[in-house]
Amino acid sequence: MEKGGGAAGEGFRPRILVFSTESISDIGIDLAGSSHMHYPPTAISIPLPCSSGIRPDWILYALGHGFDGVFVAADGTDCPFVPDCTGRTAKLVDQAQNLLRENDIKPERLKMAAVCSVCAESFQKHMKSFFDALKGLGPTRKAG
Amino acid sequence: MSERRIGVYICYCGGNISDYVDCERVQDAIKHEEGVVVAKTTMFACSDAAQQEMIDDIREQKLDAMVVASCSPTLHLFTFRGVAERAGLNPYLYVQVNLREQCSWAHTDVPEKATEKAVHMVKAGIAKARLTEPLQKTRIDTVPRALVVGAGISGLRAALALSDLGISVYVAEKTDKIGGRVAEMGRMYPHDRRGSELIANLVEEAQKRENVQIYTQAELTEKSGSVGDFTVKLNVKGESIPLNVGAIIVTTGFNSYQPADGEYAYGTDGVLTLPEFKQLLDQCEGDLTYRGKPVGNVSYIYCVGSRGSSQKENPNDYCSRYCCNAAMHASSIAHDLSPGLHQFHLFRDIRTYGKYELLYQEARRKGALFIKFDDDEPPRVEKSNGCFRILVKDVLTNGEELDIESDLVVLVTAMEPRPNQPLNDVLKLPLGLDGFFKEIHPKLRPVETVIDGVFIAGTAQAPRNSAESVASALAATSKSAALLKKGYVELEPLIAVVDKQACTWCDKCVESCPYSAIGKIGSGEKEVAEINAAVCKGCGCCVPACPQGALGVRGYTDRQIRAMIDAMEARNG
C-alpha cells in the first residue's frame, strides 16, 4: 500500500518523470529552459518519438523505482505522426491509471497534458502544480 | 558486468552549463558507472579541439559508445554523431544528454539541485548508451518541388533562385497583390532604386518561368508528410488545391509598428510614421509639401516602438535594425526635394552599421542636426499655432532644453512580427519571445526550423532590411535545394522492431500502426509481425498495443527505458 500524505514530511520534494517527445514537447521544454523559466529540478525527462508510444507498464515501473509522479508531455494535435495522438495517448494514460489502481498506487500520480513546441509557459505551470499536488500525496515508495 | 567501453564528455558550454551545474561533481559521480572508461569535462564539446579529442579517445581507448552531456539534441545531435562516424564508430552508438536547455538553464536558481539532476540525467544517458546497437540509415526519395509562403521580396527572390536550380516552385501569397511591403516603396537605400521597380522586375522574371507558379489570395491550410515529401493544401480564392512538395520556405514578412493614439501626438495631423513619410516623399514632385503647404522644418523621433519604447503594453525589446538607415536615407531625399529644409533628428543611439554609415554622413553633410535624448526623458510633442513644438533635453549639451518648431513630426517606427495564427496552426513553427519565427540556431542553422524541411527567411524571422532579407531567402533556397537536389533523404533507422520469440501474431499492432507498416511473416513454425522499414516512421504507436511486449522502437527499447529509470533511481536521490 502507498504511504499517506502525512508521511511526506516538510522536506519532501517529489520526483517527477516526464515522458517527453523529441519533435514536439521537448522543443517546448527546451524553450522553457532557454527562457530561464524555472520549474522544480526534480522533474526529469525521458524523450520518446511520440507520446502514443508509451507503454503503461513503464509508468508503473517508474512509480515503483524512485519517482513520485509521471507526467506525460503529450504531442497533442501537433503530433507529426498521428492525427489522433491526443486520443491515443489519453487511452494509454487510462490504461496506466487502471494499472496503478491494481497496484495500490493513486492514479493522481499520473498526469497528461499536451505540451506543444512553444508551450514553455504551460509546461512550467504544469510542473509547478503537479509538484505541489504530489507533495500533498507524499512519496510513492512503498513502506519499508 | 557490462563489456561496453563508453566515453562520457560533460560540456561547460563556456559557462552556460558550468555556471549552474558543478560539472566536476557530475564527472566524479559517473566515472565509475558500469562500462565508463573515459569521463571528461570540456569547455566546449562542439569545438574542433574537443571533437578531435573524442575521436582520439574513441580510437585509442577502443570506445564502443559515447555520451555527450551538453545542449539540446536539436542543436548538436548530428554534430556528435558525425564525430563518432569520423572516428569509425557507428553514429547510433552515440547518446546526447540535454544538460543545458533541460537542466542548467531551467534551474539557474538552484545550482545544487541542478547538479543533482545533471548526475541523474548523465547516468540515464550512460544506461541508454550501454544498450545501444549499431544501425544503418534508410533512404527515401524527395520531391523536386518547393512551396514558398509569402510573395514579398524574399519569397520572390527565393522562388527565382529555386527555379534557377531546376526546382519547381509554388508561391502562395495571402493578399491579392504580389510584392509585399517593398512593392509599396519608393527610393530605397543604398542604390536609390525604387522598391516598386525591384518587385516589378522580379515578377516579370517569375512570369517567364515555366516552373514558377504564383497563387494570390492563397493560404496554406494543411500540411502532412515529412521532410522531402510533404502533402500540402492551399485555399486559393475558396478552392482547395493539393500540392506535393519536398520543402517549404516561409517568408511572411512583418508589420510596421502603429503608435498608440497620442504617442508623440500620433493621430494629430502632421505626425507621421516613417513609412507614411516615405510615401509622402515619394509623391512629392518639386518642393516637399504637406497637404499643399510647403514644409520648412521636419523633426524625426527615433526608436518609436523599438528598444522598450512604446506606450502600448508589452513593448518590443529589440532594435528594429533597419530604421536608423531608412530615416537617414529619407532625410537625404527630403533635402534633395527642398534644399532649404531644416531637419532635426532626435535619437537615443544611431545604428547606421557597416556601409550604411555613409547614409549618416550624407544626412549630416546635407545639414541635418542630431540631438541625443536620454532614454528616460523622451521628447514631448505639442501642437500650438498650427505647428508642432518639440521639447527635448539635449544630452550632449548637458541637458539643455531645446524647443524646436516643426511642420512635420516623423516617428521612426519599429518592425513588428506579423501575427498569423492559422498559418502557425498548420506549420507549428516555434516563435521567439519577440514573436518572430525562430531558427534552430542563429549562427549554426540560421534558416532551419525544428520542423525538418521547413525554412524561414526575411522579416518573418527578424527585423532586417531588404538586402538582408534577400540574403536569408537565398540561404533558405540553398538549404532547400541541398535537400531536394540530392534526390533522397536518409531516414533515421530508429524504427520499430519485433521480438520474434515473444510475438504470437494477434494482429493488434497492425490496427495500431498509422502507416500500415506492419505485415505478417513466417518464422519457423509460427507467424510473426514484420516491420516494413521504408514505411515505418518510428512513432512507436505499435509498442503499447502489443500484449506480449514484443515490439519496441530502436533507441527507445523497453530495456533502455527501464535502464534509464533504474539509473535515475539509485543514489543521489
Entry field: residues in chain A: 144
Return the pLDDT at B570.
Answer: 63
Q: Is the pLDDT of residue A6 over 50?
A: no
- Is A118 in Cβ contact with B544 (below 8 Å)? no
- Is A26 in Cβ contact with B558 (below 8 Å)? no
pLDDT band at residue B309 using 50, 70 and 90 as cut-offs: confident
B44 close to B53: Cβ distance less than 8 angstroms: no
Tell me the average pLDDT across B306-319: 90
Express as a percent the part of chain B with pLDDT over 90: 86
Q: In one letter, which amino acid is B322? A: Y
B59 and B132, same domain (yes or no): yes
How far apart are the CA of B566 and the nearest CA of chain A, in angstroms? 7
- Domain termination residue (choose one: B119, B136, B153): B136
B101 close to B72: Cβ distance less than 8 angstroms: yes
- The angle formed by the CA atoms of residues B417, B419 and B424, to the nearest 5 degrees, is 115
Quick check: is A56 in a domain? yes
ipTM: 0.95
The pLDDT tens digits of the residues spanning B157-202 come to 999 999 999 999 999 999 999 999 999 999 998 888 999 999 999 9
Task: Report the C-alpha gap between A47 and A53 in whole angstroms.
Answer: 11
Task: Report the C-alpha gap between B468 and B154 in whole angstroms.
Answer: 9
The pLDDT tens digits of the residues spanning B386-410 come to 899 999 999 999 999 999 999 999 9
Q: Is B502 on the interface with A (CB under 8 A)?
A: no
Return the pLDDT at B534.
Answer: 67
Quick check: is A54 in a domain? yes
Entry field: residues in chain B: 573
Quick check: is A20 in a domain? yes
Structural domain for B239, as ranges: 145-253+418-489
Tell me the average pLDDT across B350-374: 97
Task: Kindly list the residues from chain B whose CB atom is less than 8 angstroms away from the CB atom of residue A36.
Answer: 105-106, 108
CB within 8 Å of B503: residues ≥ 6 apart: B523, B528, B529, B546, B548, B550, B551
Quick check: is B571 in a domain? no
Interface of B with A in 442-471 (CB under 8 A): 450-451
Task: Report the C-alpha gap between A137 and A108 in whole angstroms.
Answer: 9
The closest alpha carbon to B152, from B415, B351, B429, belongs to B415
Residue among B16, B74, B102 with most chain A CBs within 10 A, to mutate: B102
Quick check: is B481 in a domain? yes
Maximum CA extent, chain B: 101
Quick check: is A1 in a domain? no
Quick check: is B244 in a domain? yes
B197 and B306, same domain (yes or no): no
Quick check: is A69 in a domain? yes
Q: In this structure, what CATH number is given to the domain that contains residue A100?
A: 3.40.50.960
HSE-CB of B105 using CA atoms within 13 angstroms:
21
Quick check: is A67 in a domain? yes
Quick check: is B569 in a domain? no
Structural domain for A114, as ranges: 13-137
Interface of B with A in 96-115 (CB under 8 A): 98, 100-110, 113-114
- Domain termination residue (choose one: B352, B384, B410): B410
B187 and B65, same domain (yes or no): no
Quick check: is A102 in a domain? yes
Q: Is A94 on the interface with B (CB under 8 A)?
A: no
Q: Is A12 on the interface with B (CB under 8 A)?
A: no
B418 close to B253: Cβ distance less than 8 angstroms: yes
How far apart are the CA of A14 and the nearest CA of chain B, in angstroms? 10
Domain count along chain B: 4
Tell me the average pLDDT across B306-323: 91
The closest alpha carbon to A70, from A37, A38, A111, belongs to A111
- Is A55 in Cβ contact with B541 (below 8 Å)? no
Task: Report the C-alpha gap between B458 and B474 in whole angstroms.
Answer: 10
Backbone angles phi and psi of B106, in degrees to 5: -85, -20
Task: Report the C-alpha gap between B547 and A47 in whole angstroms.
Answer: 23
The closest alpha carbon to A73, from A37, A42, A103, A43, belongs to A43
Residue among A23, A25, A52, A98 with most chain B CBs within 10 A, to mutate: A52
Q: Is the pLDDT of residue A143 over 50?
A: no
Quick check: is B386 in a domain? yes
pLDDT band at residue B271 using 50, 70 and 90 as cut-offs: very high
Domain count along chain A: 1
B365 and B293, same domain (yes or no): yes
B470 and B514, same domain (yes or no): no
- Domain termination residue (choose one: B489, B507, B532): B489
Q: In this structure, what CATH number is given to the domain that contains residue B164?
A: 3.50.50.60
How far apart are the CA of B14 and the nearest CA of chain A, in angstroms? 15
Return the pLDDT at B445.
Answer: 86
Task: Report the C-alpha gap between B473 and B469 in whole angstroms.
Answer: 6
Beta carbons within 10 angstroms of residue B17's beta carbon = 25
- Is A46 in Cβ contact with B561 (below 8 Å)? yes
List the single residue in A with minimal CA-CA distance to B559: A58
Q: Is A114 on the interface with B (CB under 8 A)?
A: no
The closest alpha carbon to B480, from B234, B144, B153, B223, belongs to B144
Q: What is the DSSP letter of B142?
A: P
The pLDDT tens digits of the residues spanning B98-147 come to 999 999 999 999 999 999 999 999 999 999 999 999 999 878 789 999 99
Return the pLDDT at B572.
Answer: 40
Return the pLDDT at B429.
Answer: 81
The pLDDT tens digits of the residues spanning B433-458 come to 789 998 877 777 899 987 789 999 99
Interface of A with B in 119-138 (CB under 8 A): none
Task: Report the C-alpha gap between B21 and B114 in whole angstroms.
Answer: 6
Q: Is the pLDDT of residue B1 over 70?
A: no
- Measuring CA to CA, how many Å separate B408 from each of A33, B59, B284, B495, B542? 47, 72, 15, 66, 68
Beta carbons within 10 angstroms of residue B361's beta carbon = 12
Q: Is B226 on the interface with A (CB under 8 A)?
A: yes
List the single residue in A with minimal CA-CA distance to B77: A22
Q: Is A104 on the interface with B (CB under 8 A)?
A: no
CB within 8 Å of B48: residues ≥ 6 apart: none
B278 and B391, same domain (yes or no): yes
Average pLDDT taken over every residue of chain B: 94
Tell me the three cell numbers of residue B546.
502489443
Q: In this structure, what CATH number is given to the domain that contains residue B30?
A: 3.40.50.9100
Residue position matching grid coordinates 497496484: A103
Return the pLDDT at A142.
Answer: 55
Residue among A16, A20, A26, A55 with most chain B CBs within 10 A, to mutate: A55
Q: Is the pLDDT of residue B288 over 70?
A: yes
Quick check: is A4 in a domain? no
B153 close to B180: Cβ distance less than 8 angstroms: yes
Interface of A with B in 34-93 (CB under 8 A): 34-39, 41-42, 44-50, 52-58, 61-62, 65-67, 78, 80-82, 88, 92
Q: In this structure, what CATH number is given to the domain that contains residue B532?
A: 3.30.70.3270
Quick check: is B567 in a domain? no
Q: Is the dihedral of CA B295, B297, B303, B305 positive or negative?
A: negative
SS3 B211: coil
Q: Which of A32, A81, A118 sits opposite B541 (nearest CB)?
A: A81
Q: Which of B101, B124, B543 sits opposite A33 (nearest CB)?
A: B101
Q: Is the pLDDT of residue B214 over 70?
A: yes
pLDDT band at residue A7 using 50, 70 and 90 as cut-offs: very low
Residue B153, classified by CB atoms within 10 Å of its CB into exposed (0-12), middle (13-18) or buried (19+), is: buried
Q: Which helix (H) or strand (E) holds B219?
A: strand B218-226
